[in-house]
Amino acid sequence: MSSPAERRRILLDCDPGHDDAAAMVVAAHYGELVGVSTVGGNAPLADVTTNALLTAQIFGIDVEVHPGCDRPLVAEPLHAPEVHGVSGFAGPSLPDLERAPSTVGAIEYIIEAVRAEEGLWLVPTGPLTNIATVIRRAPDVAARVAGISFMGGSAEGGNRTATSEFNALVDPEAVKVVLDCGARILMSGLDLTRQFTVDDRLADDLAGIGTTGALVLSDLIRAYLDKAEERGLPRRGGLHDPCAVLAVTHPDTIERTLRPVDIELGGRLTRGMTVVDRRPMSRGGERTSPDRGEANVEHCHTLDHSRCRSLFLDAVATLSRAA
């Protein structure tokens, strides 16, 4: 585990979802989780806010949860009940909620937190609506953060459509605002996060830890795999969202390359598709082709699976045993 001196200070913006919950656990264990905000995505805002509060409660994470945008900047809301259940947290029997959301909304909270402290990491693991709204309202935020490490997009095809990853498809206009904002940006898209395997073996290993928190995560993952199977898919996928946290807390586990990344806003078949320009850069870093954009994103592309897996299981075990 990193020493306290190295712990990154993180604002997690999420839409739990089992993998957002996993991201919160990883952020709280290996980073300083300064605040959590929620955004409509996997499920409606009220549900994902409840799920974020439950995750914090079950794992004994002392953090405020700030509700954010309930719909994308331009598009109609889109949720993923077929993946995560109607509530976003299908599967486990969950305790009664003993915590309440903050009365300070996500946008106000994030702007204030970033203005009060330089060098925070923003880690969005849902649609980018909150972060884009923050940047539009307070453009100075981009220069004050250490970076924005987001889970979303893909360099190799989508999941919600043939070309587009779910978070990017829900709010492509928000992705565009973030990609163009000038902050340091790390992208963990499907081409990376599918390398972090979620399967029955991971659910078994979590169950083996035996704590309440680990059992809840195990049941959430089992329900996600059941839903995949019901749709005729393999009982196997990617544990997407913790990758965006690990890219910040354990940069040595995830290789990245600075590349031009943009998003398709208009295509009939390709709306929400992120375009990662993987053509080699010239030695001096200058453009090799007139159509090539500025290298604006650290494209995270290769992950040390066994290390990420054990970091995740250690975080769950340690945090949930202390809860």
Residue 159's binding partner out of ligand BDR, Ca ion, none, with CB under 5 to 8 Å set by partner kind: ligand BDR
Part in contact with ligand BDR (CB under 6 A); list of ranges 15-23, 26-34, 249-257, 272-280: 15-23
Nearer to Ca ion, 191 or 241 (CB): 241
42 scored as a contact of ligand BDR (CB under 6 A): yes
Strands 254-259 and 236-238: unpaired
Nearer to ligand BDR, 57 or 164 (CB): 164
How far is the CA of 22 from the CAs of 111, 298, 311, in angstroms?
Answer: 25, 23, 11
> How far is it, in rounded angstroms, from Cα 276 to Cα 295?
10
> How far is it, in rounded angstroms, from Cα 89 to Cα 51?
7
What residues form DSSP beta bridges with 237?
198
171 scored as a contact of ligand BDR (CB under 6 A): no
Taking the CB of residue 268, how many other CB atoms lie within 10 A of it? 5
> How far is it, in rounded angstroms, from Cα 99 to Cα 88?
18
Residue in 240, 250, 299, 301 annotated catalytic: 240
Cβ neighbours of residue 99 under 8 Å, at least 6 residues apart? 53, 56, 57, 65
Part in contact with Ca ion (CB under 5 A); list of ranges 56-64, 233-241, 263-271, 282-290: 233-241
Draw the binding track, 80-119, toward Ca ion (x: CB under 5 A; -: no contact): ----------------------------------------
Part in contact with ligand BDR (CB under 6 A); list of ranges 4-12, 16-24, 173-181, 270-278: 16-24
Part in contact with ligand BDR (CB under 6 A); list of ranges 13-21, 91-99, 178-186, 279-287: 13-21
> How far is it, in rounded angstroms, from Cα 42 to Cα 134?
21
Question: Binding to ligand BDR (CB under 6 A): which residues in 49-88?
Answer: 80, 83
10, 12, 20, 222: which one contacts Ca ion (CB under 5 A)? 20
In terms of Cα–Cα distance, which of 190, 176, 195, 193 is closest to 261?
176
Residue 256 has, within 13 A of its CA and on its CB side, a CA count of: 27
10, 11, 17, 92: which one contacts Ca ion (CB under 5 A)? 17
What residues form DSSP beta bridges with 149?
186
Q: What is the DSSP letter of 147?
A: E
Residue 166's binding partner out of ligand BDR, Ca ion, none, with CB under 5 to 8 Å set by partner kind: ligand BDR
189 scored as a contact of Ca ion (CB under 5 A): no
133 scored as a contact of Ca ion (CB under 5 A): no
* Contact yes or no for 306/199 (Cβ under 8 A): no
First to last CA, the chain: 18
Active site residue 240: yes
Instruction: State the residues that interact with Ca ion by CB under 5 A.
Output: 15, 17, 20, 125-126, 241
Instruction: State the residues that interact with ligand BDR by CB under 6 A.
Output: 17, 19-20, 42, 80, 83, 125-126, 151, 159, 165-167, 240-241
